[in-house]
Structure formats: structure tokens, C-alpha cells
Structure 1
């Protein structure tokens, strides 16, 4: 860990010497001497880091080394701030301040000399204690990590697969009880109880997604309660899953409305609600009134908990199910699945000696699935028998430390070994996940820029043609590959969508983060501000903790003290649907060396404080899901800013004005905007030569010609309202000529393509190889032939196109199309046909507001990979017969449709509709017949949706 910190400081000192040489006037030679001292120290750290657990003395040395590295950076950063601030002062003030320069130079020189002395003393101590210098290439974790990183690619889909061993009977038993109609064998509540890591949630997921369960219940909801629960969040989460089409209305309901509405749902429909990871009786007491005990239609509750008393409190007649521990044979089988899968997809290894060692090691896991999985994550990177023997020796050592203690402690030691085995760069990446709240889904696209801003991913690992986002993604791949994190893959792109930590892994993360003084988390949710030890909090800030995460409750801001040494300050609000007001007395002036400032979910009375513009070392500034009226022009001073996220809170509907200063941010790499961002003048983008990601480029904010200046973009989302044909020509020229590095592009084009010249330009646009996603909003006289569509097009959407010829005949021939949406009179014909072998890669299809469509035919063999289908055409007479052949279809959503169409898919008085057999294999069928802009009460909505009818409505837990 110390090796990482020193490496980071070395990289920063090198950057200061090259990029900010003018700000180091007078101390450049001292900085260079300091860099040389750290290079010498780094040679000893490879051995010291590896032996940190041997003794308290070595541990204290490693901690001291990190503090020296951080202190060094503080000294240089503070000096740079002083020089930079003087350069912005008026001439008169500059003359006054010049008298103090000699003192400042002498002070920073003395401080650097003191640092050098501390390094020298520590180096001597390390040598005395037998810590040896390891040169690059001799067991260097850095070089080994770099080589391994370049081998791992994101295409290894097995990193997110859930192997299931030994618990099949548990699933079968629980499914049988859930769907049983036998009154003598009836349980309203079922509970899966047991220690952390036993596989409770995995079993619950298997049960929840079982086909028999899906057919038996009408509504489904899965919520994770966790330790830091909020009543509103739980009730809101259940309700939005039971009636997902009313999400936008539900987010503004009061808590008592949630209860009343949920009671109505439970009394009218047969629902299954899963409460995952419920820790306390108090959590149930706050939501119990939403679950009526009598008069329901067979609805049931499935809970997972570590505490049997909690299960009995929920329902004294609960069915208690405690999963057993794995046998040694089952543990070995699971370990094989995790450890013997090679990155290149080769056949699993089968080595007798490895099996002997493996069977010996799984004994230490105590039959706990999570411990076996984590052990597999360690061994999957070990390719030789010698490597396995080393892990075997280490695991024995770890377990001996826990000998005589309870089983859970021994398992924790196995998990700790997985952390110890990480390369030092990945240790920091893992510890950083502790910033995020318990049970949170951490968006990959948010995590990557944070890792980059903190310097946790290194330029040394960047291969030719890669961005730092690619390097960060490979770090997450590695953590997933070792089963340190759980990841969710975007089915459309195949890339990681989010990641999360198992409870035990998060405990390990926070424990190690505290040991390493890596970060501090202060949790004020659910009244826990009463439990916060403020003396400990302030003491931690005084001890130079570098990262602070504040988890806010709905009560608002607590007491927060500034700390000049903080590198990272992040706020987390209870829900993305709310904003917490920022107190007027909160100031940013005290955070002198801040690199990361995350103000997501914070509401500002008028505008963001001007003092933010003085945080000149910021690399990351996020105002996502926040609200402000105006952004100060002082943010133009943030010359080192890499990521700026201005995606304002859409639920608030409050627009924010930004000044024309973006062009000053020469280091900007990631810029996020949305439609709520406004400007009084067209914003300049010239000078942003390093910009790699831009979301969203809109013509009401920017001049289309500025796209030509952004030659380093690799991801672009753009919304263009074409005024003249020259605009369309400019887009085509940009994609064909200037966008050399563009890998992911999405365009919305608002224009009518009627004349021959316009259709010809549309053809040229569709042929652009760097175009991945396209939405045309406007009339299209004639759709170009399929060979004019680029094979790189993966998403197409058409609205108001008024196509007279069936577009499917053309679009089904596109080899890589994965998403297709036809909406709002995109097609005005009455019949549409999807042919055999058509749409070979299509996964998502939406047909909505095609007002004339009456007949849709799907041939057997069409759309063989379709997983999600939405139909919203009021004149459509029946479901295509060919849907019954699409075995991959997981979700069918019926939005706008006639009553007759819906009846064909329902069971009314025990009689199946005429088309139900065509989709009976689909796990999730969602009805949403209500569609109106008229404002009515939720009770009226409920009666319109469910009054007197039973519907098949399911929303799968992701």
C-alpha cells in the first residue's frame, strides 16, 4: 500500500516538474532531490509492504512512509497554491507580496529538507531490520500487475456468472412452499436465515426468478433493507416495482400514501415481496402496516436475515430455512469452478497435486460459499503448483492467527488473504469502494473518473490507443475476476454497468481502509447522527485522513469541519430522487488541496459558492442530481479539472445557467451535461484538446463547428436540431474525417429528410463507420437500402418518420443491430413482417404509438436473441404467433393497447386469453394500460389499472 502512495507522489512530482515548472520557481532543485529520495525509498517498499503483517514495527514504518509521502505533496501543493494565487493578483498587491517571497522560499526549502531527513532515517531503519531493496523486475508487483492487466480483457463474461453448488434442494424446497395452495402447508412469510456469506441472497434470487414462482404471482418486488435503512426508501422501492409504470408519480408521494397504496395492491393482487438483508426488528416495525395480515389473495413475503429473532418478529408463524454449509466435496467443486477457469477460455486444469492442495485449503473456508469464492479469486491468478503451495502456506498462517476463535473469524482471515494478495494498485482501488454506502450499486462510469482523479490508476498501465477510462475498467475487471466485487453487465454494450460489495467484503474494505488511514466514512442516515462520535471524527481529521465520505440523512447537513489536508470530499444523499439543501454557512475555503469534490444530490439556494473556483487542484467536480440556479464564473480557474458532471436533477425540473468558461479548463477529459443546463450565450469548446467524453453535446449550448476541435473524443452523445443542410454535412464530415479516436457515438438528429438531396445525406450519415447509435426525429421519404447502413450501428430509433413501406424488410438485415425503437408514427402502414433469420443480434425492440399498425407477423427463426419487447400500438389486433419460438425473451411490456388486445393475454375467470400460450414462457409480463396526461389521484390510477381485473405484472430484480 505504501508502495502505491510513494509511486503516486513520484508521478505527481514528475508532473509538477513538467506541467507547473513556472510555479516551482526557486524550489525546483529541491523538488528534484525529493523525487530522487523517494525513488530510493521505493526500492525498499516492495519488501516492506509484503512483510507489513510480520510485526507492529514494520507496520508502523509503512504507515510513516505513507504520511511522509502525503506530507511532501502537501508542502509542494501548498507552495504552488501560493504562487498561483499571487500570479492572479493585481500589480500593486504583487509588489507588496514580493517582499515575503524570500521567507516563503526559505520555509518550503526547510520543509523539504526535513522530509529528506525523515526519509533517510527511515531507510536506515528498514535496512537495519532486514528489509531489502528489490529492483524493478525482481518480484515487482508493479511490472507483474502491468503484464497481467494487458492480458485481461472485458470480454471475460464468466467474471459475473454465479456458480451454484450444493444448494439446489434449498431452492426447490422454498419454491414449493411459495407456490403451494395447500392450506395445511401454507406460510405467508418465509425466511432464509444464517451468517453472512452463506449464500442467502443467492438462494433468494434463484427462488425469485424461478419460472414456477413467476407464473404463480401477479406482482414482484425486491428491496435490499440493509443496516442503514430508510422507511421511505423501502416502501418506495416496493411500490415502484409492483407498479413500475407509475414511478414518476410515486417518487413525489408521502410516506403515508405509500402505505395506503401498498395495502390496496396487496389486497387486490397476489404479490411476492423479497426483503433482502433485513437486520433489525425496528426496520420491519416501520413498514409492517403496508402488509395486511388478512383478506389478501395469497401474497407472500420472503426475507433474508442473519438474525432468526428478526424473522420471528416479522411473523411468529414464519417458515425458517437455514441453508447448510457446503460439504468438503461441494466446496472443492465450487473452488474448481472459480479457480480452474483460465482467462483465455481454455479447458479447466486437472492436476492431482493442485487438487490435494485445493481440498486442504477449502477446509479453512468452513463450508461458507463466499469464502470458497474468494479463495477461488486468489487461486485463479495462480497458474503453477508452486503458486498454489505459496497460497497454501499463507492461508495456514492466516488461519492460525484465528485459531481458537469462532468460525466467522477464520473466514474473515480467508477474505483478508484475498486483499493481501492484490497488487498494490488494486488495493487502493478496492479500498476506495468503501466511500460508497452499504448495498449501493456503484456505477462504473462514475467510479472510473474518480479512480483517475485520485491517481489510483497509473499512466504506466496505459497501452497504446487506450484512454485512462480503459485502464480503470481493467482494474474493475481484475477485482471482479478475483471475486472481490460483484458486477452487473450491460446486456446491450457488454461492458460493466455497476459493481457492489458483499457485506463481508465491505466490512473488510472499511477495516483495511481504517488501518491504512485511507478514508473516513461518517454516516448520518436514519438517525445515526446520534451515534457519531464527534471527538473521534475531529481526531481523525486532525490525524490527516485524506478522504472523507459523508452519508447524509433526510434531516440535512450535520456539523462538518474543514480540513486543509483532505484530498477527497464526497456527499451521498439517501435517494437519487431527493436533494438535500446546502447550509449557507458551509464554506469550501478550508479545503486547500482538494482533488475530488462530489456534491451530487445537494440543492443550492441560488448558485454554487464562488470559493469553489479557488480549489485549483480539483480533478473531479460532480453536481449530478443536484440543483443550482447559476454556476459561478470562477470555475474557469479550475485548470486541472479532469471531470465535470453537471447533469442536474431532472425530478426537480430546475434549470441551471453555466458561464462561458469551459474553454479555460485545458485539462478537462470528461464533461457531462443534460437538457436542464442553460446558457446565456453559445459556449466555447476551443482549447479542450484533451476532452475524451462529452455527454451531452446540444446545439442550444454549443456551435456545431466546435465539434471539429474535439479530435480526442472517444465517446460522444449529441442532440442536434438541424437548421440547414450544411449542419448535416458538418456532422458527416466530422464523423468521417476528424473523429479518428471516436469509439462510442450516439446522435439524435431532428430533421425532415424528404427531398432527394436530403435522403442522399441521410444515406451518407448511415454509412459513417464511427456512428454507433442514431435517433432520427423527423419525416423520412424513403429508408435507404440495408447495405447503406454501417455494420457498426447497434442502436436505431425513429420517430415521426411516417415511413410508408415496412421498415423491417430493411432493418432486419443489419448484422449488429441490438436495439430498435419505432415510435410516434415512425411507420404509418397497417402490416409489418419480421422474416426468418432477420435481426440476428437484436436484444431490445420497442414498437410504440404506431397508430395504423393492425397486423404484425413474426416468422419462426426471427430475432433469435431478443430479450426485451415493448408493444404500444392501440390498433394491433393480436400478438404475433412467432413470439412463442423466441426462447430468449425475458420481458414483455404492454403499454398502449386496446382492451381486446389485453384480454388475449390475460386469465379471466380461469379462462386463458387466446394469445397467452404464445408468451407463457416469458418470465415477466408488464401491463400499463393507463396512458394520459390528465392529472388524477393515485387512487383513481389504481382503480383504472387494477379495478376488478387481475393482471400479469412482474418486474425482475436486477
Structure 2
């Protein structure tokens, strides 16, 4: 129904609800009565969101009364239901092709009337929404005991010079082939390991820094070591023994420096020790929280809390205090007494203070809830600091923060794909990628996320969630109050729920164990499955996800095509199949009128079907090695990000590219590229005025010399340029 869509400025009407924003874009389709009804409904939703924002921003030591908690639960569920239903009307309008206009308007009008009745009944049960001050006055002072004693870890950017020298000295001795850095989470184990690795790696033939985490199996550990060493694995899907033998044979005459970060089990230590036992002169650094196991496999370096001077230096750095400041010195003494040398607590509270005006510091310190007359443990300190950092986030950013609960622990998260998920879910009110990017930067600036490049591709930016903060996210998102997400396949898995499931994630599950069949997924907006294997007999049937907006299957070994054939949701805006085998995309994907993101990287799909160029709402398309596009790229004028292999096989690709004026990220590969195509490509690139990242790969026998770029660049906005098999002219601006 593109013919009915007209430009609409949401800010002019104060609209903050994405589903209403989308509906009002179809102004010519909607009757005046419906538009007036939507305006009234959006005012009610703004009141709902303001109330929910006040509830979620209460200090962590305040406990809601039972009646207010019940009211908040009902308001949250009704708000979610309204957003879901309004989004379904958007899908109906897009699919109507001017048929059934009166019917759809009548149904929307009837729904608005029914919703008014539900809102009235809710108000009669609970009264008006209480103000922030009223909420605070009726809360009881109580800290949730489940959260205490869980958060233990953060990086340590200062105060480790002596530790680096000590550990370097230990590794220089012949009697230490393996040394384990042992300490509680947040004390700086990983930071020290990284610093020593950076200092010493030049003295070795090869090196790798390999983070593994709690649930890493032996095959994954070995593959991660191969990736870290940039070594190729031979054979089709080799098993553990074959991988170990390959690695041993490759390293037998090499001195290697290997860091294996965050080991949790004895079996991993044994595996690493056996693999590297014949690699003469190699050194291995591990980090762990388990001293008992570490002592069995070599030397120990035990991390200690920061001394007072280093703690103050770290706090000063994070709070961005320069020069002598008496007021800061007085406040820092109180903070450091509570942080007891734990870098995580110091880093988070320092970053928190850096966001505040100097005149607000003492008030903000008092609001965190530290008790000057009690000796809190380091765990309690970290909990209070991180919870307060969460409630201090702007309301839209809080939901984006909680969305990280969907991913496995210690998972590297692609920055762009995370933002596209947020947009598809409706967590970015204006649907702009740049707005989502500002939310991500906000989280990084507040030390609630860590920037990290891809372990597979240095050209890709992303992030990781520190384990302590991840625990906080998981606890908040699964709580009855938030009811944000449900995660299965982990230690805390549970399928018993009294409220609707809004987001569902399944991690590392062997399907067919009948653990997921009881789930009601009718209101699920995001479904994420990672490393699921098996026949899929207990995998929630995709036909039951009728309101699904985000479908993300990563590294899943199951009958995906059969599942995709069962898709009933027409609301999908994001379909990701990264490293999930599927021979071809089913035709149903071509019927998704709202689809904005499609990722088929490393799926085994050889050709994108012709219907892909009809997905005119696509904003991000990723098709990696081995996948070519047979359709015409110039039709996809909404594209902002494109990853395409064998671009030379796509009809008139170089010519059509110039029509993609919204393009910001372009990663393209050519098998063959002649002079005419080079010139056309460069001309088209010059038309992409918003281009910020460009990667060009060429597999041609001779390196491509792009002489027509001399004296110019594709875009003044360009921030990243990576060329492989391509030679630029000597003179560039």
C-alpha cells in the first residue's frame, strides 16, 4: 500500500509509539474518525509509558506495594497488547492493495472503542496512575535478595604495572609453560592477561587471545584457537580428535603465546595442556575464578584488589576529574571505602558521575543508597551501583539494554545487526538507524557495554556484555516486574509463566526433549535460537508465532526450510539465518511486506531467489560467500546496508548501485571486474553521498587498479575503507 503512505512528522504530534507512527503514515487510507481515535489512544499510551517509566526508574532499594505492582503489570501487558495489535493493522494495510479499506477502518475503529473500555476498567480497578513522588512515598525499603552477591567483575585499566612485570617474569622462566591468573570476577583477570599478551606476543612465532566462557565445549575451544591463530581447518566438519591432531601438527615447530580467557572446567585445561605439550617453548596464560583446578595445571598468579592510590586514580580517570579538586577528594574517600578496591564498582560509579554536573555529585552519591554505618560486601556495592546505573538510563535505552538478555553469555554481538533488531522490534521510536546507534553509544559511554571487534573479521565492530552486567540484565529482564524476555537452555530455564511471553530465546538446546511445547508464543515479538541441534520435534512451531517481528536463528542445525515454510506471521521485519544451513529461501519470505533486514550469511544458499528484489522495504541485506543475487539491486532503494558476494553476477549491479542513495555500509565482492565495470562502479559510488563504510573484494587473477579514483573519494562521509585485491592510485585527497 505504498500509494497511501505519506510523509509524517511524528515529533509534531508528540508521538512516541512506533506502531501509531507507522499507522499514521497511511493518512490517505485512514478515515478521520480513526485518525482522531488514534490521537486519543496515543495520549493514553504516553501516560501509560510515563507511569511505567517512573516504576522502572525507582531506586533499587525501594520495593513496590502489591497493589501498585499489580497495576504496573496490567498496564504493561495492556500497553504491549495495544502495540502488537496496531502493528498487525499496519500489515493488513500493506497487504490490502486498496481492497477492504472500509472494512479495515471499521475494524480499527472498533478496536479503539474496545481498548477505551479496557482502559476505563483498569482505571476503575486501580485509580489514576500514581506520580513519581507518590510511588516513592508508598514503597518499602527493601533490596531484592536474589540479586545480592552475584556481581563480581570489571576490567582494571590502571594499577597493574607491577602485575604485568611479575607475570612477565614468571612466563620468562622455563619451568612455567602454563600460568593461570586467578581472581574473583571484576578484579581484572582479563585485563592483565590482555596486557601481558600485548607486551610479549612479538617474542613468539604466533599468538592468540581466545575468550571461551562458561559453556564452551572442546570442539568450540579448539575452533576458537584456530580462529585466533588465523589457521585453516581441513576436512569436512572434523571432530574433536581430528581438530586436536591438526592443531598439534601445525604448532609442533612453533613457539606460541596463547591466552585462554575465562576457563570454568577441568576438562578444558586438560585439553589445552595436551594440545600444546609438544609445542616447545610455547607459553599459555589462562584466566579463571577456580583456584583449585588452576593449581593442578601449572603456576598461579593471584589477583588482588587495587590499592587506595590506584583506586583513586581509576575513579578520577573514569569521573574525568583533572587537577586538584578538594570536593572530589572528600567524596572519593567515601566511595572508595565502599568499593574496597574492586575495579568494576569503581569504573561504573566513575562513569556514572562523569555524566552528572559537579553540583549534583553528593546528591547522586546519596541516592545510590550506600549505608555509611554498614560494611557492605564488594558484591553488594557492585549491585547497588549497577542497578542505579540502569535506572538512570533514558527510558528507550533501558529496553534496548534489556534486549541484550536474548544473547548467550560472553557472546560477541554485531553492532549493526543489534541495532537493526532494535528497530524491527519497535524499540527505536523514530526507526532511524542513527538513533539506535546513539542508544548503543550511550551504553558504551556508561561502561554498561564493552566495544569489541569481531573475532572473525576485524572490519566489523560490535560489543560484548561484561559478565557482571549480563547477570544484571538477565535478572531484570526475567523478573515478574519487567517480564521482558524468557530464555531457555540455560541454568535458569523455566517454562512456567503467569504472564504473556514477549521475547523468547533458546540457547544450546538439543531439540526433541519436550521442554518447549507448552509455551504460548502467540504474543512473542522476537524469537532467537542459538546453536540448537536435533530434529526439531519440540522446537516451537513457527506457525504459532503469529505476531513475530524478529526471527533470528544462528548456528542452528535443524530443518530450517521446513520451519520457514510454516511461517504465518506477516509482521516480520527481521529474518536472520547466520550460519544456519538452508538450501533455499521459501517463497513465503517474498510475501513479507514489512521486511527490513534479511541475513543469509553462511547458510549455503547459492542464489537469492528473484523475489528478493521485490522486498522494497529492505534496509539491510547480507549475503556472504557463495551467495549471489539474480535480481536487480536498483529496485531496493530503501537499502542502507548491503553485503553481497559475486556482485558481478547481479544484472547491471554497477549501474544500479547509484540509485541506492540511502546506502551507509557497502561490502561487495567481485569474481571478475573489467575496466568498463570499474569505471561504472566508481561513478556509482560517487553518487552514494551517505556512504560511511566501504569494503571491496576482488578475486580476479590480476589486482584491480582503480585509476579513476585518483583525486577523489567515494563519499565525504566515509569512515572506513577496506580493499582486497584492489590497488588505489597513488594520489588520493
Q: Could you tell me the TM-score, scaled by structure 2's length?
A: 0.82
Alignment of 1:886-925 (within 5 A): none
Q: Which residue number in structure 1 is paired with residue 164 of structure 2?
A: 171
CA distance in 2, matches of 1:413, 1:694: 42
Q: Which residue number in structure 1 is paired with residue 215 of structure 2?
A: 228
Q: Which residue number in structure 2 is paired with residue 208 of structure 1?
A: 197
Alignment of 1:532-551 (within 5 A): 536-537=494-495, 539-540=496-497, 543-551=499-507
CA distance in 1, matches of 2:672, 2:254: 49
Contact 1:399 1:413 in 2 (8 A): no
Q: Which residue number in structure 2 is paired with residue 707 of structure 1?
A: 657
CA distance in 2, matches of 1:129, 1:164: 39
Match of 1:770 among 691, 714, 721: 714
Alignment of 1:3-42 (within 5 A): 10-19=17-26, 22=29, 29-42=36-49
Contact 1:660 1:683 in 2 (8 A): yes
Q: Which residue number in structure 2 is paired with residue 521 of structure 1?
A: 487
Q: Which residue number in structure 2 is paired with residue 777 of structure 1?
A: none
**1:482 pairs with 2:446:** yes
Shift of 1:454: 2.1
| Distance change in 2, residues 1:735/1:501 (3 Å) | closer
Match of 1:353 among 302, 327, 338: 327
Cα deviations by residue, 1:679-700 (Å, 9 ceiling, x for unpaired): 6xx4144553322122227232
Shift of 1:362: 2.2
Match of 1:632 among 586, 590, 602: 586
SS in 1 for 2:130: helix
Q: Which residue number in structure 1 is paired with residue 426 of structure 2?
A: 455
Q: Which deviates more, 41-50 or 102-111?
A: 102-111
Contact 1:24 1:80 in 2 (8 A): no
CA distance in 1, matches of 2:132, 2:428: 33
Contact 1:279 1:306 in 2 (8 A): yes
Name the count of aligned residue pairs: 693
Match of 1:76 among 63, 79, 86: 86
CA distance in 1, matches of 2:411, 2:160: 26
CA distance in 2, matches of 1:753, 1:289: 44
SS in 2 for 1:126: coil
Q: Which deviates more, 688-697 or 104-113?
A: 104-113
Q: Which residue number in structure 1 is paired with residue 113 of structure 2?
A: 109
| Distance change in 2, residues 1:392/1:248 (3 Å) | same
Shift of 1:702: 3.4
Contact 2:353 2:361 in 1 (8 A): yes
**1:279 pairs with 2:264:** yes
Shift of 1:416: 2.0
Q: Which residue number in structure 2 is paired with residue 646 of structure 1?
A: 600
Q: Which deviates more, 196-205 or 353-362?
A: 353-362
SS in 2 for 1:483: coil
Cα deviations by residue, 1:704-750 (Å, 9 ceiling, x for unpaired): 343343222223334467888765554354344x4333343444578
SS in 1 for 2:435: helix
**1:383 pairs with 2:389:** no
Q: Which residue number in structure 1 is paired with residue 224 of structure 2?
A: 237
SS in 1 for 2:639: coil
CA distance in 1, matches of 2:458, 2:578: 25
Contact 2:555 2:578 in 1 (8 A): yes
Q: Which residue number in structure 2 is paired with residue 311 of structure 1?
A: 294
Q: Which residue number in structure 2 is paired with residue 254 of structure 1?
A: 239
CA distance in 1, matches of 2:227, 2:702: 40
Q: Which residue number in structure 2 is paired with residue 153 of structure 1?
A: none
Contact 2:666 2:695 in 1 (8 A): yes
SS in 1 for 2:643: strand
Contact 1:339 1:377 in 2 (8 A): yes
CA distance in 2, matches of 1:229, 1:718: 33
Cα deviations by residue, 1:894-920 (Å, 9 ceiling, x for unpaired): xxxxxxxxxxxxxxxxxxxxxxxxxxx
| Distance change in 2, residues 1:426/1:613 (3 Å) | same
CA distance in 2, matches of 1:486, 1:376: 16
Alignment of 1:865-876 (within 5 A): none
Q: Which deviates more, 478-487 or 686-695?
A: 686-695
Shift of 1:701: 2.6
Cα deviations by residue, 1:302-349 (Å, 9 ceiling, x for unpaired): 32221222223x33xx433322211222211111111116xxxxxx35
CA distance in 1, matches of 2:721, 2:76: 47
Q: Which residue number in structure 2 is paired with residue 365 of structure 1?
A: 339
CA distance in 2, matches of 1:795, 1:351: 45
SS in 2 for 1:602: coil
CA distance in 2, matches of 1:193, 1:13: 53
SS in 2 for 1:191: strand
Q: Which residue number in structure 2 is paired with residue 180 of structure 1?
A: 173
Contact 2:550 2:572 in 1 (8 A): yes
Contact 2:59 2:388 in 1 (8 A): no
5+ residue gaps in structure 2?
Answer: 1-13, 137-153
CA distance in 2, matches of 1:666, 1:684: 11
5+ residue gaps in structure 1?
Answer: 1-6, 133-160, 342-347, 463-467, 525-530, 774-790, 802-806, 816-958
**1:506 pairs with 2:470:** yes
CA distance in 1, matches of 2:226, 2:460: 28
Q: Which residue number in structure 2 is paired with residue 4 of structure 1?
A: none
Contact 1:572 1:601 in 2 (8 A): yes
| Distance change in 2, residues 1:349/1:451 (3 Å) | farther
CA distance in 1, matches of 2:666, 2:273: 47
Shift of 1:62: 3.9
| Distance change in 2, residues 1:745/1:101 (3 Å) | closer
Q: Could you tell me the TM-score, scaled by structure 1's length?
A: 0.64
Alignment of 1:632-711 (within 5 A): 632-649=586-603, 654-678=604-628, 682-685=630-633, 687-696=635-644, 698-704=647-653, 705-711=655-661
**1:469 pairs with 2:433:** yes
The structure whose Rg is larger is 1
Shift of 1:285: 5.2
CA distance in 2, matches of 1:22, 1:771: 38
